[in-house]
Amino acid sequence: MILYDYILSASCYKVRLMASLIGVPLTLKGVNFHPEKEHKSHDMLALNPDGTLPTLVDGDRVLTQSTEILRHLVSNKAPEWLGKTTAQTDHWLLFASALNSSLGMARLHDILSYETDIDQVRRDGVAQLRHLEEHLTEQRIEGLAFLTGDTPTIADIACFPNTALAPDGGVSLDPYPAIRLWMRDIRSLPRFIEMPGIHRMHELVDPSGATA
Amino acid sequence: MTNSADNHWYPVAMSSGVTGPRDTQLLGCKISLGRTNDQFWVRDANGRDMPVIHKYGHLWTSPGKPNRDLFAIPEADESGRRLVDVGSVRVKCSPLRAVENFLDIAHFPFIHSDILGAEPHTEVARYEVKIHEDVNEIWATKVKFFQPMAAKSAAGGIITDYKYRVAAPTVSILYKTSPPRPGEWDVIALFVQPLTEELCEVWPWMALYDDDAEQADLVNFQQMIFMQDRSILENQIPRKLPLDPGMETPTQADMTSIAYRRWLKKLGYSYGAQVVAA
C-alpha cells in the first residue's frame, strides 16, 4: 500500500499511526504540501481530484478520506479496531472530522499562516475538547480507558492527532485531565509512533537498572 | 529608542513564493513586499522602498542601515549541491530562542529521538567556540555527535561532525558530515524573521549533496525536525532570551549558546532579549 503523505499533516499521521499499531507496512511517498502545494499538482490531482492528503493507493483502489482509509486498513487484518457498535464509533469519527475543522485549522493558521477566523476556530475547538473531556471522564468512571470501550478503536486513532496537537494551534490541554490520561494510554500502546509535536513516552529508568 | 536591531539584514520571504504583493511584519512593524516583472520590492508601512537582496532562495531587507554586506555562504555556488527551500514555519518564541535552539546539540536524543540522537548516547564531547573578529561571526568547531539517522540520505547510525556558525543575530548556519560524501559538508541554515520580540517566522534552507532523494522528502525531513523543536520553543521561560546569567545554569555543552548571548550583548542587540538579570 502506498500512502501519499505529508509529515506535518494530522490526518496523514492518523493513517501512519494506525498502520504501525496493527503492523501493516506502508510505502510512504512524501508530498511537498508546504511550501510547494504539490498536493494540487497535475499528477496528484490525476490521482485524487480533491487534491487532499492523505491519499492511499492499494492495488486498483484509491482512498482519499482518512476515515475510509482507517476502516480499510483494519478491516481484514485487525477488525477488532472497528469497535463493537458502529453507532458509537461513527459518532466519534464524525467528531474527529469536526476537530479537523477547528483545532486542525487553528494549527494550520499558527504554523503555516492559513487564513481563518482564528478566535472562532479556537472557540469551537475548546467546546469540542470540553465535550471530549466529559465523555472520557464518564468512561473512566466506568473503568473504560478509550472512547468506546476498554480497548482502542479507529475512533480513538481518528480523534487523537488533532487533540494532541491542540497546543500547536494555541489551545492549551492543561484543563483536561481525562484527555491527558487518554492520550497517555494511546501513547503507551505497543508500536506507537510519534509525529512532530507529539512526543513518545520516555521510559523511566531506575538507577539500579530495573525499568520502571 | 533606536535599536541596533534595525541595522541588520533579515529574511522576509522565500523568493520563489513571492507572486502577488503581500504584507508581513519585521521587528514589530508592518512591511509589504512583492515583485514587479523580475524586480522584487519591499516597502515599509509608509510605502518607502527598503533595500532588497535576493540571495540563498530568500529576500533580505533591513529597516536601517546595515554596516556590512549580507554574510557569505560560498557553498551555495558549488556545483553538485542541491539547494532546498524548506518554506516557513511560524513559532511563538523569541527569534533569538529559535537561533539558540538551532545551535544546541544536547537536546537531540530527547527531541529528535532515533533521528539526530538516541539514548543512551547523550554526551556532548568538548568542542571549540571562537569569535571570528574579521567578519564578527561565532564559529563552533570540532563538534561530534552520534546520530542514528543524520540526514534523509543516511543509511544507519554515524558519528556526525558538525560546525556551527552564527552569521548574523538571527541567522545560524550549520555544516555537518554529508552521509553520501563523508569528506564534504552539508549546509543547513536557519534564517529567522523576527515578526515581534516573541513571534518569528523561521525559514530553513539547505545546500546538500544528495543525488537520490525526492525534493519533497528532503523538505519533509527538515520540516519534521524543525516541528519537533517548535513545541519546545513555545514553552521556554522566560519568553525572551536572557543575556545575563541568572535563572539558567549553563553546562559545558552550552558553550555556543553562552558565546551567542555574550556576542549579542556586545553588539547591543536587545530585540527579543531580556537584558536585566533575572
CA-CA-CA-CA torsion for B211, B216, B218, B219, nearest 10 degrees? Answer: 150
| B37 DSSP assignment | T
Q: How far is CA A198 from CA A186, B72, B251, in A?
A: 11, 36, 28
The confidence score (pLDDT) of residue A9 equals 97
For chain A, the average pLDDT equals 94
| Contact residues on chain B for A113, CB-CB shorter than 8 A | 88, 90
Size of interface A-B (CB pairs under 8 A): 71
pLDDT tens for each residue of B77-131: 999 999 999 999 999 999 999 999 999 999 999 999 999 999 889 999 999 999 9
**Does B54 lie at the interface with A, CB-CB under 8 angstroms?**
no
Mutate to test the interface with A, among B86, B89, B91 (most CBs of A within 10 A): B89
Q: Which residue has the cell 475543522?
A: A101
Whole-angstrom distance, CA of residue A89 vs CA of residue A158: 10
Residues β-bridged to residue B25: B30
Distance from the Cα of A30 to chain B's closest Cα (Å) equals 5
ipTM at complex level: 0.87
Query: Are the CB atoms for B261 and B103 separated by under 8 Å?
Result: no
Q: Please, which pLDDT band fits residue A211 given cuts at 50, 70 and 90?
A: very low
Mean pLDDT computed over B232-247: 90
Chain A residues whose beta carbon lies within 8 Å of the beta carbon of residue B92: 110, 170
User: Residue A156: pLDDT band by 50, 70, 90 thresholds?
Assistant: very high
Instruction: Kindly provide the b/e burial profile for residues B239-274, where b requires at least 16 CB atoms within 10 angstroms of the residue's own CB.
Output: ebbbbeeeeeeeeebbbbbebbbebbeeeebbbbbb
Integer Cα distance of A44 and B87 in angstroms: 20
Q: Give the tens place of pLDDT for each residue, B176-214.
A: 999 889 889 999 999 999 999 999 999 999 999 999 999
Note whether B230 contacts A: Cβ–Cβ < 8 A.
yes
Q: A113 to chain B: nearest residue by CA?
A: B90
Go through chain B and tell me how many residues it has.
Answer: 278
d(CA B16, CA B19): 8
Has residue B2 got a pLDDT over 90?
no
Contacts of A170 in chain B (CB under 8 A): 92
Task: Using CA coordinates, name the residue in chain B closest to A164.
Answer: B231
A→B interface, C-beta within 8 Å: 5-8, 29-32, 34-36, 38, 110-113, 167-168, 170, 194-197, 199-200, 202
Chain segment B37-64, per-residue pLDDT in tens: 889 999 999 999 999 999 999 999 999 9
Of B122, B104, B127, B272, the C-alpha closest to B199 is B272
Q: Which amino acid is at A52?
A: T
Query: Which one of A38, A111, A205 makes the best mutation probe of the B interface by having the most chain B beta carbons within 10 Å?
Result: A111
Beta bridge partners of A171: none
Locus of grid cell 508592518: B30
Question: Which band of pLDDT confidence, cut at 50, 70 and 90, is reported for residue B155?
Answer: confident
Indicate the residue of B87, B217, B231 with minimum beta-carbon distance to A197.
B231
Tens-digit pLDDT profile for residues A78-89: 999 999 888 999
